Structure formats: structure tokens, C-alpha cells
Amino acid sequence: MESRRATRRAQNNTFQGQSRHSCWLVILACCVPRVAIIALLCSLPPFLSSSAASGSRRSMAATAPAHKRRRLSPGPTPLQPPLDALADELLFLVLDRVAAADPRALKSFALASRACHAAESRHRRILRPLRADLLPAALARYPSASRLDLSLCARVPDAALAAVPSGSSSLRAVDLSRSLGFGAAGLAALATACSDLADLDLSNGVHLGDAAAAEVARMRKLQRLSLSRCKALTDMGLGCVAVGCTDLRDLSLKWCLGVTDLGLQLLALKCKKITNLDLSYTMITKQSFLAIMKLPKLQVLTLLGCIGIDDDALCSLEKECSKSLQVLDMSHCQNITDVGVSSIVKSVPNLLELDLSYCCPVTTFMVRSLQKISKLQTLKLEGCKFMADALKAVGSSCVSIRELSLSKCSGVTDTELSFAISKLKDLQKLDITCCRNITDVSVAAITGSCTSLISLRMESCSHVSSGALQLIGKHCSYLEELDLTDSDLDDEGLKAIARCSNLSSLKIGICLRISDVGLTHIGKSCPKLWDVDLYRCGGISDDGVIQIAQGCPVLESINLSYCTEITDRSLMSLSKCTKLNTLEIRGCPRVSSAGLSEIAMGCRLLSKLDIKKCFEINDVGMLYLSQFSHCLRQINLSYCSVTDIGLLSLSSICGLQNMTIVHLAGITPNGLIAALMVCGGLTKVKLHEAFKSMMHPRMLKNVEARGCVFQWIDKPFKVEVEPCDVWKQQSQDVLVR
């Protein structure tokens, strides 16, 4: 069963004044030619007005004066220290240039202010280059760096890794999880150069095989290794790692489809210090299972989707086989039944957390056996079918649990849930998402006995009345996380919920009965909110959003998609939330570039932005993003009024990784090519299929060779956005089928 959503789904002393600030921009511009181009573009008002033809005149008129004011007579009180406004990667790029010109300059930079000092020392420890070709220089300049994070480099050729100077003994951690292009040769160079490497992330190395693993095996001091999705790895490669890296504590072999019992047996024999092991979706069976379970220090074992683990394997374990194991995840192990589960519990007496989601029907027999794990705190049974009386048994047999997940379970009835809840006095987290048959009876039981709840998720519990939802606020005042998406919640309910003054995450999307009045209560009383989801709340408008923006200064993420009434006023107030990193305003036709430009200038940490179907947003908005939003990583601007110019300026944001640009009427193949060429860090681009034939295949190959994946979309052009109530009714019909 799916939820409705899822159905579619410093003032620091150096750079205070504007003159210094612009001096800073000049340095930046010299270093990054693209930034210079954009800065130039931005200083040419005639250029802006000529692009107005493509966008909306109204928004242009609204933006231009504000824009000029900023450039010509800057406000004397910038809200943030200017350094905070630069993404680290850009700042580091500048520092690299400064150091190259004169090493002493780096010292004076660090002495300039506390912020400068902090930035410089951070850079000395962690290297996060924007492109692989910047790596050798950075490594040479910062020989004592301990972490090398290559997650912004989509492509890291062997030659780049070969440039790591030998004797880089301070380097402890290397992250290659998002990079392609390297192989055994590069890893061999890394193994030679960094003798003390302890942490290596090779996740998503679909191209890495046994030869690569053999080089990893030379890194004798490795403690943490991720090989998840290294699908070409076989027992041969794993064998090398097991023999070479006997100090391993934390190993992920998730999705290593080529790994079988043979390799795992060797691992269990050689790597006795392992505490965390992820074997999800591997071919493990009974043959190596016992050896793995007997690893003396094993604390966390993840067996998600291991279909080779069956009752036979579970029943083969001895009594008290692992005293160290604390967390066992057997979710999606489809060949297990209640017999297997009740057998394994005797072998893991000290378990704290058990995940049996999407595993097997839950019976009373199985639940009673859980009594043997006396310290069990967390029980996850997502997507399970409850047989008669099994849920009641949870109440009598698992009295110590603090966290229970029944999300998307069938067979959860009021009578059984109320009984179980009345016994679980220590419950702190409860998830009953999509338990569609429960009613006010269950909610009365929950609010009556679980008064120390800190997390309650009940999306799509559609038979619960608005009156019952008020009880939540009245009785569960410790709540920090609350999900009432797609419920009957109204303003009175929100007024009650406003009592939960520690609330940090509130998800109330698709609640059509709430209005600005309710949001005002929340804004006034919940200052710790950092995550707010108001997806498709058709009844709210600017006044409500403004109350949230004013009352919740630590807001990091807000979803206002399809709140069709909201305008630039909302964005202007949200621009004061300086921590905002995620903004979703998809399908808000009344917002424009004027509002977006305020967000760009105010929310410098913005990293994810969805403005799909914000038709009024045009190139001006993109120019502001390109100038201020240096942390932007992901953007969806399908259907916006953006042309080649806007796209090209956007592509000057060095760290941009994911871009969805379907149905942009103002884009030409040439403009697209230019943008793709400039934006070297792109890893994923969603485009309309029509462009595929218009672009030169060699051109596409070039971009792909840098590590970018294209996803071609052929959805028809559809402008209109249904009102929330129509949409809700339609998706209801789909659910009922």
C-alpha cells in the first residue's frame, strides 16, 4: 500500500565595507573567469532589459530597481559575514590562488579575522576540489590534510589519483563515492602514496572489479570501507580485501551481486574486528551465515533483501551465537517466516533493534518469541501483514520498546492497536503511516498513554477526525517530529499542536482545511521548527507563510509546492531565514524572479531548489542565483520562462550537480550545449527527448565522459495545475481503484 504522496509523487573586520566587498569579488572574478562573465553581465542593465522580452514585464519592473540599488549604493549592514556567503569550494579556490602567488599571503589571510582563520584551517584539513585537475596543486599546498573529499568531481581519472604525492601519510580518508573514471591503476597509486589510509568510500564503483579490490587490499590500515554497488566484484576480490585489510571495522558490500558464501567465509575468518557489516542484496546463504554471526565484535548486521537467508539458515544458529549483536536488519528477506524469526531471537540475546519490514506475516507465535530479547528497544515492521491478535501480542511481549514502526501495515485495527499502545508506556516513536483502518479510538489511546512521544507519524490515516487530532497537541507536548500529511487537520488542530514548543519537523501537506490562522499559531509558538512541509495546502497564503518565516528562524527546509496562492511576499519573508537550504515552490504560478532574487541574496546556503511551473520566473532569477547561490547543488526549473541566457548564467555555479530542465521554451540546442560545456560538475541532467536528436552525438559523449548522466523525458507539455481539492479527489479515486 502506498501513501497518497507516493502514488504520484560578520561583520568581520576585513571585508566590512562595500569597497572591500567588491575587491573580494574582483579576486574571485580573476580566479573564476565564468564568475567574471556573469558579474559583467549583471552590471549591464540594458542587457537585463533586453532579456525581459522572454519573461514577464511585471517581474522585470519589480526587480530592476532593487537590483540597481544593491549594486550602486549597497546597504551598510550586510546581514551575514561576507565569507559565509561564499561556498567553501569557491573560497578554497581563492585561497589556492593566493597561496600560489605568495605563501605568506595565506598567513595574513588567516590573521585577518576569526572567520578567515576558521576557513583557512578547515581548508588545511579537508580538501574538496571542484575538479580533479585541481587536486595535485591542492595536495602539494596542504600536505597535512586528513580528508580528501572528491564528491564534487564527477570524473576522477587514474592520472589524478597518481598525482597524490607519495608519503601523504596524513591522509586518512578518501571519498570517491560519486566519481567515475578511475580504476585499479588509480587505486594502486593511492595505496602506494597513502600508507595510513583508514577510510575509503568506493560506493557506486560499478566499474570496479577484482583488480581494483586487490589494490585496496594493499591498504593495510583500512578500518572503514564501502564497496556498495561494486557489482563487478567477486569472491576473488573480496578474498584479497579480507586477507589484506584485517583491521576493518566497518564494511559495506551492499549490492555486490558477485559476492557469495566463499568470499564471506574468508571475510569472517580474517577480519575479526568487524563491528558493522552491510550485506544487503548479496547472495549470502546458510553456508556463510553462521560464520558471519559469530564475528566476535559484530554489532550491526544489515541483511536487507538477502533472499538466500531462509528459515533453514536462521534455525541453524546455536543458542546465544552472538552476544555482541545490537542491530539486525532483515527487511525484505522474503524467504523468512515466523518460524525462522522465532528461532533466531534465542541466538541474539542482546539485540536492541530488529527490522523485519516487508519480511513475513506477523503472527502471535513470532511476537511472543521476541520476549527472549529483553532489551529490545526498536521494532520495525513496516509493510507487514498482521495476523489476528499479533499486534496485541506486541503490547504484552515487547514491553521495553521505545520505537515501533507499523507504517503501511495491513491488519492494524483499533482494538488491537489500542491494546498494544496501552501497554507500551515507554514509547517515544510511533509510525502508523497509511494504517487506514484506524480511527479516533486509536488516537485517543495513543494520546492517553504515550505522553512521552517525541515522534509521531500518521500520514494518510484518513479516518481520524479533526477533533481527535487536537488531542495530539493537548497530550503529547514533547513531540519533536509530527507527520499529519493528508489528514483532516484544521486550524483548531494546529492551535493545539502549537503547544508542542519543541517541534522541529512538521509535515502537514495535503491538509486542505488549514489556513493562515492555524499557521499563525505555529509561527508564534514553535521556534525550533527547521523542516516544514505544506505541500498542496490549498487554503494557505502569504500571511501564514510570513508567520512561519518570522517565528522559525532556524528553518532549513520548506515545501510550498502547489500552494497556489503564495506570492513573492512569502519568498521575501523566507529570505530572512538564513539557514534555509531546501526550497520547494513547484507549481506556485504567482511567484516571480523578484521573490527568487530575495531568496538568492538572503539564503546563501540554498542547495536544493524546485521552481518547476513557476512560470513567472525568468532569466533575472537565474542571474541572481548565479551570483549569490554558490551552494546550489540541485535545481528543477522545468516550465520556467528561462532562456539560453538564464541557463548559461546558472551553469556558472561550480557545484551544480542535478538539473531538471524539461519544457523550457526559451532554450535552443546551442544554448544548451554552451551551458553543459561550462558546467563541469553536472552529474545528472533531465531533459526533453526532443533535444537528443538536435545535439551532436559527440558533444553528448563529451559531457557524458565527464561523468554526467542524461535522462531523457518525453512527458507532454502540460501547463495547468489542478486546484488542490480536485487533485486530492482524483488521487483518492486512484487509491480506491
Ligand X SMILES: *[C@@H]1O[C@H](CO)[C@@H](O)[C@H](O)[C@H]1NC(C)=O
Identified binder of ligand X from the candidate list 308, 395, 473, 707, rule CB under 6 A: 308
CA angle 700, 705, 707 (to 5 degrees): 105
Closer residue to ligand X in complex, CB, 90/376: 90
Comparison of 190 and 642: residue with beta carbon closer to ligand X: 642
The length of the chain in residues reads: 737
Question: Which of 31, 20, 211, 70 is closest to 628 using CA atoms?
Answer: 70
Q: Is residue 361 close enough to count as binding ligand X by CB under 6 A?
A: no
Q: Does 584 bind ligand X (CB under 6 A)?
A: yes
Neighbours of 474 (CB within 10 A): 12
**Residue with the CB atom nearest ligand X in the bound state:** 636
* Strand-pair partners of 476: none
Conformation bin of residue 255: beta by default, left when phi > 0, alpha when psi is -120 to 50: left
Look at the block and give the residue holding cell 541572481: 624
**What is the H or E stretch that residue 138 is in?**
helix 135-141
For residue 441, what are the CA distances in angstroms to 76, 93, 414, 421?
A: 59, 60, 6, 12
Quick one: 145 exposed, middle or buried, by C-beta within 10 A (0-12, 13-18, 19+)? buried
- Per CB under 6 A, does 578 bind ligand X? no
Please identify, using beta-carbon distances, which residue of 149 and 310 lies nearer to ligand X.
310
Q: How many angstroms separate the CA atoms of 737 and 735, rounded?
A: 5
Distance CA 599, CA 592 (A): 11
Closer residue to ligand X (CB): 299 or 460: 460
Phi, psi torsion values for 588, nearest 5 degrees:
-110, 90
Nearer to ligand X, 465 or 658 (CB): 658
Q: Which residues pair with 658 in a beta bridge?
A: 634, 684
CB of residue 658 vs ligand X: minimum separation in angstroms?
4
Residue from the set 630, 633, 706, 728 that interacts with ligand X by CB under 6 A: 633
Write down the H helix ranges in 440-589: 440-449, 466-475, 491-497, 516-525, 542-551, 568-574
Pick from 682, 711, 704: which is nearest to 131 by CA?
Answer: 682
Stretch that binds ligand X, among 152-160, 217-225, 557-565, 719-727 (CB under 6 A): 557-565
Residues 6+ apart with CB under 8 A from 161: 182, 186, 187, 189, 190
**Interface mask (CB under 6 A) for ligand X, residues 7-46, using x and -?**
--x-------------------------------------
Nearest approach in angstroms of CB 222 to ligand X is 25
Minimum distance, C-beta of residue 28 to ligand X, in the bound complex (Å): 23
Contact 635, 656 (CB under 8 A): yes
Asked if 431 is part of the footprint of ligand X (rule: CB under 6 A), the reply reads no
**CB atoms near residue 5 (< 10 Å):** 18
Residues 644-663 that bind ligand X (CB under 6 A): 657-660
Work out whether 550 is an interface residue with ligand X (CB under 6 A): no
Query: From the CB of 485, what's the least distance to ligand X, in Å?
Result: 7
Q: Which of 636, 649, 651, 652 binds ligand X (CB under 6 A)?
A: 636
Position among 478, 688, 704, 710 found at the interface with ligand X (CB under 6 A): 478
Can you tell me the distance from the alpha carbon of 71 to that of 629, in angstroms, rounded to the nearest whole number? 17
Q: Which of 687, 700, 690, 600 is nearest to 650 (CA)?
A: 600
Size of the site for ligand X (CB under 6 A): 35
Residue identified by cell 551552494 is 631
**What separation in angstroms does the CA of 635 have from each of 200, 586, 626, 700?**
29, 11, 12, 21
User: Which residue has cell 537590483?
Assistant: 67
Residue 525 as a binder of ligand X (CB under 6 A): the answer is no
> Do 231 and 205 contact (CB within 8 A), yes or no?
no
**Range in contact with ligand X (rule: CB under 6 A) among 305-313, 516-524, 620-628, 639-647:** 305-313
Q: For ligand X, give the closer residue by CB, 9 or 319.
A: 9
Q: How far apart are CA 685 and CA 132, in angstroms?
A: 20
The radius of gyration computed from the CA coordinates of the chain, to the nearest angstrom, equals: 28
**Residue 368 CB-density burial (10 A; 0-12 exposed, 13-18 middle, 19+ buried):** middle
Q: Is position 433 an interface residue for ligand X (rule: CB under 6 A)?
A: no
Cell of 268: 569472517
**Site for ligand X contains 570 (CB under 6 A):** no
Closest approach of ligand X to the CB of residue 6, in Å: 8
Q: How far is the CB of 381 from ligand X (least distance, A)?
A: 13
End-to-end CA distance of the chain: 12
For ligand X, give the closer residue by CB, 49 or 658. 658
Identify the three-state secondary structure at position 602: helix
CB-nearer residue toward ligand X: 67 or 402: 402
Closest distance of CB 341 from ligand X, Å: 16
Contact call for residue 346 and ligand X (CB under 6 A): no
Q: Give min distance, CB of 477 to ligand X, in A.
A: 5
Among 436, 463, 576, 579, the residue binding ligand X under the rule CB under 6 A is: 436
Give the phi and the psi of residue 455 in degrees, each rounded to 5.
-140, 130
Q: Give residues 281-300 in contact with ligand X (rule: CB under 6 A).
A: none
Piece of the chain touching ligand X by CB under 6 A; list 20-28, 232-240, 288-296, 633-641: 633-641
Binding mask 382-421 for ligand X (x = CB under 6 A): ----------------------------xxx---------
Q: Which is nearer to ligand X, 15 or 289 (CB)?
A: 289
Q: In the complex with ligand X, which residue's Cβ is closer, 208 or 632?
A: 632
711 binds ligand X (CB under 6 A): no
For residue 299, give Cα distances in angstroms to 263, 273, 277, 328, 498.
20, 11, 8, 8, 40
Q: How far apart are CA 201 and CA 182, in angstroms?
A: 13
Residues from 666 through 705 that contact ligand X (CB under 6 A): 684, 686
CB of 556 to ligand X, least distance (A): 9
Residue among 533, 542, 568, 598 that touches ligand X (CB under 6 A): 533
Range 133-172, binding ligand X (CB under 6 A): none
Contacting residues toward ligand X, per CB under 6 A: 5, 9, 307-308, 310, 334-335, 410-412, 436-437, 477-478, 501-502, 509, 533, 535, 557, 559, 561, 582, 584, 610, 612, 633-634, 636, 657-660, 684, 686
